[in-house]
Chains A and B, each alone.
Chain A
C-alpha cells in the first residue's frame, strides 16, 4: 500500500515535469513559427484560396508541433529518467514498464480528437471555399453564388462582370500540346495567350483541352484543375490584391510539356478592364473566326479524306452537355 501510493505521487511528479516542458517548448515553437515562417509559407495570399491554403498549412504545422514535442519529450524523458542505469550489473535494472489505463485512454482520445478536428476543418474549408481551387468537374458541387448565372450568360455571349460589379468572371482555359490559351466570354469570346484576371473578383476557370490530358496549375492562385478533352472542369477562386503568378502544366503531356508554362497577372479591376477591352479590339478580326464560345471543343482526330480536321467548316467542334445546361447548337 505504501509502495503503491509512493508510486502514484511519483507518476504525478513525472507527468507534471513532462507536461511543463511540453507546454513551454510547444508554445515557444508555435509562436516562433507563426512570426517568422507562417507568413511566407507557399502558396502565398494572392487569392482567397491561396490564403486559405496557407492558413491550412499553418494550422496543420502548428498542430503537428505539439504532437512532435509530446512524442520526443516523452521518449527522451523515459530514456534518461527510467532507462537502465549505466553501472548496473543486472540484466534488467530499469523501471519496469507497466500499463496505465489513464495514459492509454488519454492518448487515444487526444489523437482521435486531433485527427477528427482536422478532418472536419478540412471539409469545412473545402465547402466554404467552393472546392478550394480544385477542379470540380462540369457540375461543381461547391459553386459560389452567382457562378451559374455568370456561366450561363457567358455561354450566350452576355457579360455579367464589369469593374465593381462583384459578379463572377468566367475565364476559359484551353490546353493543347503545348500551350495554354485563355478565352474571355465576357469580352466577345476573345482568345489570348495571356492570362490576366482582375483583383477582388471571383473567377470561374473553365478548364478543357483540345487534345490529350493536361493540368492547369496556377500555384500562387491556389488553383489546380485537370484539362481533359471534351470535359469542362470548373475551378473557382477569388483574387485579392494585384500580383504575378505562374501557370504550369502539371500532367506529363509530351515532348514540350516542360515548356508548357506562362506567366499570369492579377491586375486592378481598372487595369484589367483596360487590357481586356484593348485586347478584344486588337484581336477582333481573329475572334470572328473562332468557333462560338462553348464549354468544350472536339477536334476530329481522323477527319475525312485523311485530314485532321472534321470538315473544314467554321464549326470543327461538337457540343457536349455540361454544367447543367446544353450548349447552343
Chain B
C-alpha cells in the first residue's frame, strides 16, 4: 500500500475511533428525553385544578410488555382518553390535583397499618365509592390492595381492595366495568421539583418480601411526578 493509502487508512481509523468515543460520551452524558411522562400542563391555566385518573389492576394482562401477570397502575391519557401503561406525570406547581383511582385488585392487611390512614390530602380525607373516610382498618373487610403515596409531599392514601373471592376480578387492563372501588382525593403539588410516588403495599407476588418485580419497576407500582412552574 502506498504511503498515502496507509496514511489515509490510519487517519480514517483514528477518526472512526474518535467519533465512537464522542458518541459514547454524548450518549452517556445526555439523559435523553424522559419517555412516559404524561403532561397535564398542556392548556392548563394557572391556578386551575387538574384531574388525574388512574386504575390499579391485579395483573396487567397481555398487550403491555413482557410481564402480563404483574400487578400494575394504569393512567388515563388526558389527551386521548386512552388507558396507558405509564406512571409518570408532569403536573403544574402550586395546583390542586383531583385524583380518581379505580381499584380493581383484591386486598390484604397492610404490612404497616400506618398507610391505612389518609395523609397529606386536602381535608386529610379521601372518598371510597363516594363516602368520605380518614382511616381504613386493613384487617377488616377486603383489606387494602395498594396505596398511592408521594412521600415528598406527605401524601398517602390506601386503595381498598375488592372481594378476593370474586371470580370476575380484572386480569386484563384496562378493566372497564369489572368489580372495582373508586377512591378519590385531592392534594396540592407545591413547589416545582421531581417527586417520586409509590405503592406501600408489598404487592409483587413471588418476590422477596413482595418488594421486587412490579414494586421495583417503573410504570408498575411507582413513578415520578414532575412538578413544573
Provide the bound-state CA to CA distance between A316 and B112, in Å. Answer: 10
Task: Say yes or no for B215: interface residue by CB 8 A criterion.
Answer: yes
Q: Within the complex, which residue of B111, B113, B154, B217 is in contact with A308, where a contact is CB–CB below 8 Å?
A: B111
Whole-angstrom CA separation of A178 from B215 in the bound complex: 11
Contact B152 A289 (CB under 8 A): no
- Give the distance to chain A from B28, nearest Cβ to Cβ, in Å: 19
B17-30 Cβ-contact flags toward A at 8 Å (1 or 0): 00000000000000
**Which residues of B in the span 117-137 have a Cβ within 8 Å of any Cβ on A?**
117, 119, 124, 134-135, 137
Q: Using Cβ atoms and an 8 Å threshold, which residues of chain A touch B174?
A: none
Which one, B40-48, B62-70, B200-208, is touching chain A?
B200-208
Residues of B in contact with A (beta carbons under 8 Å apart): 108-109, 111-114, 116-117, 119, 124, 134-135, 137-139, 143, 149, 151-152, 154, 156, 195-196, 198, 200, 202-203, 205, 208-211, 215-218, 222
The reply to whether A176 and B111 form a contact with Cβ atoms under 8 Å apart is yes
Q: Which A residues lie within 8 Å of B152 (CB)?
A: 259
Specify which chain A residues have a CB less than 8 angstroms from the CB of B149 in the assembled complex.
Answer: 179
CB-based contact B196/A259 at 8 Å: yes
List B contacts of A2 (CB < 8 A).
none
Instruction: Kindly list 9 other residue pairs between chains A and B, CB separation below 8 angstroms, not including A262-B151, A312-B108.
Output: A176-B200, A181-B112, A181-B114, A255-B218, A282-B124, A283-B117, A285-B135, A308-B108, A308-B202
Do A285 and B134 touch (CB < 8 A)? yes
Q: Is the CB of B114 within 8 A of A286?
A: yes
Partner of B111, one of A210, A256, A259, A286: A210
**Known contacts A289-B137, A289-B139: A316-B109 contact under CB 8 Å:** yes
A193 to chain B, nearest CB (A): 6
Interface of A is mostly: loop
15 pairs across A/B with beta carbons < 8 Å? A177-B202, A193-B151, A210-B111, A211-B202, A212-B211, A255-B216, A255-B218, A256-B198, A259-B195, A285-B117, A286-B114, A286-B116, A289-B137, A308-B209, A313-B139
CB distance from A175 to the nearest CB of B (A): 10
